[in-house]
């Protein structure tokens, strides 16, 4: 309730006093950035396609537009990314076509805002959901060789996410993690069919991954922030990616959380 009242006050009055005028960093996958990376010689995973052929509002762009923030965003996310570096294997594996994992994305984001040997000109980094374990094309190996993640493999993914958050904290930057959308908000069986995947994670596996994601970050990174930014998630018809309205709401929730923390002097 306090945050709701705070939000209404911020709408009524200028929010500039609460902003440090520093860029917001963001790393992640397609929720954060619509586009896959281009490597050398204009080579790119999936032929360089963007989500919904570019008719898609990513969280990075929505954070630029939200009126509660300054619009300064450094977005190093890559559509299709996993927490680890991997090569593209759709339709065939090619070692020259690669995604970068979250550690490299964070290193690049920090590099954009750091004077060598000096301080970091950023207070927060948003870390969004990765493709790890969600489907058969998220392993960097041929789909026919990929199998659904065990709990140990899910925890290995969380190990990377937590290590990235700790690296951010060590640099003086607070990580802001999302909470994965609820299973019933998605349609992963349809997503599997629409994208020609060998398999997509089932309900039990997804809920296990989602629970681990939320609980381990909360317990192992107490100085991080978790925002239920995908509450009331609606997909755009492909079973997995959010509608523009869903993304706008997510950006607003992040902005409110940042301004709320800053207003309390934390």
**Prior bond to 91 cis, omega within 30?**
yes
DSSP helix/strand/coil, 88: strand
- C-beta of residue 155 within 8 angstroms of C-beta of residue 206: no
| The model's pTM | 0.92
Domains in the chain: how many in total?
1
Sheet holding 73-75, edge to edge: 73-75, 24-27, 124-127, 174-178, 225-227
- C-beta of residue 197 within 8 angstroms of C-beta of residue 135: yes
- Domain holding 153, by residue range, is 2-263
CATH code of the domain in which 30 resides? 3.40.50.1110
- C-beta of residue 36 within 8 angstroms of C-beta of residue 49: yes
Q: What does the pLDDT profile of the chain (266 residues) look like in tens digits?
A: 555 555 555 554 445 444 558 999 999 999 999 999 999 889 999 999 999 999 999 999 999 999 999 999 999 999 999 999 999 998 899 999 999 999 999 999 999 999 888 899 999 999 999 999 999 999 999 999 999 999 999 999 999 999 999 999 999 999 999 999 999 999 999 999 999 999 999 999 999 999 999 999 999 999 999 999 999 999 999 999 999 999 999 999 999 999 999 887 75
Give the pLDDT confidence score for residue 98 in this predicted structure.
Answer: 95
Neighbours of 220 (CB within 10 A): 15
Q: How far is CA 228 from CA 15, 99, 150, 193, 214, in A?
A: 22, 27, 25, 28, 10
Smallest CA-to-CA distance from 32 within 132, 126, 161, 164 is with 126
Neighbours of 238 (CB within 10 A): 15
Burial of 29 (C-beta count, 10 Å sphere; 0-12/13-18/19+):
buried
Checking phi first, is residue 54 left (phi over 0); if not, alpha (psi -120 to 50) or beta? left
């Amino acid at each position: 309730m306090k945050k709701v009242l705070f939000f209404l006050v911020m709408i009524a009055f200028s929010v500039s006093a609460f902003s440090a005028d520093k860029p917001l960093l963001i790393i992640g996958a397609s929720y954060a950035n619509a586009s896959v990376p281009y490597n050398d010689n204009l080579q790119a995973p999936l032929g360089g396609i963007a989500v919904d052929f570019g008719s898609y509002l990513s969280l990075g762009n929505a954070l630029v537009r939200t009126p509660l923030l300054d619009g300064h965003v450094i977005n190093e996310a890559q559509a299709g990314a996993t927490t680890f570096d991997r090569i593209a294997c759709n339709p065939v594996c090619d070692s020259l076509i690669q995604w970068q994992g979250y550690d490299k994305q964070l290193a690049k984001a920090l590099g954009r805002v750091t004077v060598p040997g000096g301080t970091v000109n950023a207070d927060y980094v948003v870390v969004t959901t990765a493709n790890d374990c969600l489907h058969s094309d998220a392993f960097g190996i041929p789909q026919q060789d990929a199998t659904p993640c065990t709990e140990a493999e899910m925890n290995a993914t969380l190990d990377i996410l937590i290590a990235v958050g700790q690296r951010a904290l060590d640099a003086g930057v607070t990580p802001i993690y999302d909470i994965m959308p609820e299973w019933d908000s998605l349609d992963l069986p349809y997503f599997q069919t629409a994208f020609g995947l060998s398999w997509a994670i089932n309900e039990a596996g997804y809920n296990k991954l989602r629970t681990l994601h939320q609980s381990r970050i909360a317990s192992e990174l107490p100085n991080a922030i978790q925002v239920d930014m995908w509450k009331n998630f609606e997909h755009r018809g492909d079973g997995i990616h959010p509608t523009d309205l869903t993304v706008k709401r997510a950006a607003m929730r992040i902005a409110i959380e940042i301004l709320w923390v800053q207003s309390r002097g934390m």
